[in-house]
Chain A
């Protein structure tokens, strides 16, 4: 089990696991950057994906995989953190560093609203002990 982080989205609090075995260097960069706050946009080609900009590069493409519901991925084409919140058809393999393990339903409720009303605030932070 990798390290856990907290995700705040709208009124919901969720838990995600960092995939420290599969993507150790990416997870380290993300962990060191916490807390990360942004405003969510909704993906346009992939359904049920939200994303936000992050202020750093991760040049290494660790753990590229075809995204699944709950995955957290980093797209370095645009320094963007992507969260796939439900079943969808991804565009291809994306470097994946985490997955939502707690309250995915709450995340889905908030993320689904982003299509109609983008700009929801999201924060990724270290999980309090």
Chain B
């Protein structure tokens, strides 16, 4: 597990202030009607889903009283599902790979403390990716256009 932790930590440090290549790939991802907004918005929501999950299960593990094997069984398919989404739907291929490092390292997890550490490290990495994706969403313009459309639909 130590090797996976080091790899995830190193990957996080690389993208902390430097835009990850995944963001360039996401930017070029076109969805329905050849527009990119839905891919960016959906990527943000799917990242947030896994981050929320990771923070939740980390907290549960820190509280104790649960079986690490059960936690692993719940977590493994959830990580695989999201790795598939990130790589396949949104071209976040590096992010998908990091999620798979964590998934594979689950087999080496023996204790709740190990589990919390691994989930925490992955949450820190994904949290940073998600805030990069957030920078791709033109919230100011989006909010303005949304209000204009809402006003028109009411008139």
Query: A residues bordering B, Cβ < 8 Å?
Result: 37-39, 41-42, 44, 52-53, 55-57, 59, 76-80, 115-116, 118-119, 121
Contact = CB atoms under 8 A, between A and B. Distances in A.
Interface in B119-145: 120, 123-124, 127-128, 131, 134-135, 139-140
A118 B132 CA distance: 10
Contacts of B123: 79
- Chain B: interface size category: 10 to 19
B62 interface: yes
A39 B124 CA distance: 15
Interface of B: 12, 16-17, 51-52, 55, 58-59, 62, 120, 123-124, 127-128, 131, 134-135, 139-140
A44 B52 CA distance: 17
B140 A79 contact: no
B135 A119 contact: yes
Contact of B131 (A37, A53, A76, A116): A53
B55 A116 contact: no
B142 to A, nearest CB: 10
B82 to A, nearest CB: 17
A121 B135 CA distance: 13
A78 B52 CA distance: 8
Given A55-B16, A57-B120, A41 B135 contact: yes
A121 B52 CA distance: 25
Contacts of A115: 139-140
A82 B121 CA distance: 21
A44 B41 CA distance: 14
A81 to B, nearest CB: 12
Nearest to A52: B131
Task: Tell which of A37, A42, A79, A116 has the most Cβ of chain B within 10 Å.
Answer: A79
Contacts of A38: 16-17
Contacts of A41: 131, 134-135
25 contacts: A37-B16, A37-B17, A38-B16, A39-B131, A39-B135, A41-B131, A41-B134, A41-B135, A52-B131, A53-B128, A55-B124, A56-B124, A57-B58, A57-B120, A59-B62, A76-B55, A77-B52, A78-B51, A78-B55, A79-B123, A79-B124, A115-B139, A115-B140, A116-B140, A118-B139
